[in-house]
Amino acid sequence: MFGLVIAAGTVHANGRLIGAMSTSPEPDVPARERLTSVLCRSDLVAYRGAVADVAEEVRIRGPRGVEELLAERLGEPELRAVLSRVPGGADAAVSSLLEDVGRFRPNPRSSARDLPALVRIYLLSQVDSVWWRGAPTFETDLDVLHSKELVDLDPLRRSGRLHFQYRAQSDGIRRRAGDWLVRRISPGRRPHTAGLRFTRARWELIALLNDLAGELRAALPRETPSIWVTSLVRSVEHQNRLRALGYAAVLPSSHCVGYGVDIEMRWFRRFDEDERLAALLVERHEAGELNVIDEGQAWHVCISPGACEVLARADHRALIDEDQAPAGRR
């Protein structure tokens, strides 16, 4: 139910929208404005509705002529009102999408199972891009590993302060064999995912995930497992690796600024028949706290700058050890 609502683009948020991240601040955009650009509710509703229409038209027409269709439709006022705010303007956004369309090949690894899904995911991801427009990206793997803005998850998990689940990517024959054995003996114990390349995250995202897990824990039976996170921060370097493997890894991406997360949904539904997790995500989406994109097995979630400010006022920093707190936030 909820997946269809988001996939069709009819759920709307009362919050900021649009654009694309940049690796460096734009000189002509004041720093505060870069993180507080606002679209009114009617613009947002019109944009999401237009995205749904475009994706449906791509589905009906098929691959032939799709580039011409997109070039024509993406100039419409409802879409241009959003796309015009990305760095480089609407033309840059259209060019980037057409490039992805041109290189698209169906791939069972990808969340974009077909061309309409690719178009929908790309266009809806522009919400993330404007929220974090101008935010510095993690260009390389080393940037992620050494950033003082990110927190190591493993110590928090060992101390019992993480209420969500994840696993790191397997990096050796013995560990991969162990993962295979777990899937063989208990296939439903955890989702079949590659795991996190980087077990690090922004503290705001940790607080958000803990909040979601806490609300679910109060609503579901005690034996229900915690939510499972399949992706957090990524470098642009790693995003390009995923693109080369055929994944629908859009650029720019909120993962590459540390404000995006993917949450496993298909696996969790076997424990959540009433889809309370989906309801929580949609509720926060409509409140403007999150941008949520249904990508099938997992849902992509991006936290808004406004929600980050709320988390700071609520003093969620207590979740993190003093020696791990990012500089300037102790």
Contact 228, 288 (CB under 8 A): no
Domain boundaries, the chain: 2-319
Q: Please, what is the average pLDDT of the chain?
A: 80
Structure letter (DSSP) for residue 134: T
Tens digits of per-residue pLDDT, 145-188?
999 999 999 999 999 999 999 999 876 555 544 554 555 555 55
Looking at the DSSP bridge assignments, the partners of residue 151 are 201
Confidence of residue 310 (pLDDT cuts 50, 70, 90): confident
Q: Which of 253, 149, 244 has the alpha carbon at shortest distance from 206?
A: 149
Q: How far apart are CA 286 and CA 41, in angstroms?
A: 10
Q: What confidence tier does 15 reach under pLDDT thresholds 50, 70, 90?
A: very low
**135 to 14, 104, 194, 257, 277: CA distances (angstroms):** 22, 28, 28, 7, 29
Contact 211, 164 (CB under 8 A): no
Output the pLDDT for position 324.
53
**208 in helix, strand or coil?**
helix
| Mean pLDDT (whole number) for 33-62 | 77
Q: How confident is the model at residue 328 (pLDDT cuts 50, 70, 90)?
A: very low
**Do the Cβ atoms of 298 and 112 come closer than 8 Å?**
no
Going by C-alpha positions, the residue among 267, 271, 252 that lies closest to residue 127 is 252
pLDDT value of residue 131? 85
Q: Does pLDDT of 322 surpass 90?
A: no
> Which residue shows structure tokens 């995911």?
121
**292 alpha carbon, distance to own chain's centre:** 7
- DSSP single-letter state for residue 225: P
* DSSP structural state of residue 135: P
More confident residue, 54 or 11: 54
Residue 252: asked if its preceding bond is cis (omega within 30°), the reply is yes
pLDDT value at residue 175: 53
Q: Is the pLDDT of residue 323 over 60?
A: no
Mean pLDDT computed over 90-112: 86
pLDDT over 80 (residue 4): no
Q: Is 171 exposed, middle or buried (0-12, 13-18, 19+ CB in 10 A)?
A: exposed
Q: What is the average pLDDT across 38-44?
A: 68
Report which of residues 57 and 43 the model is more confident about: 57
The Cα 211–Cα 205 span in angstroms is: 10
DSSP letter at 323 equals T
The string of pLDDT tens digits covering residues 199-215 is 999 999 999 999 999 99
pLDDT of residue 2 exceeding 50: no
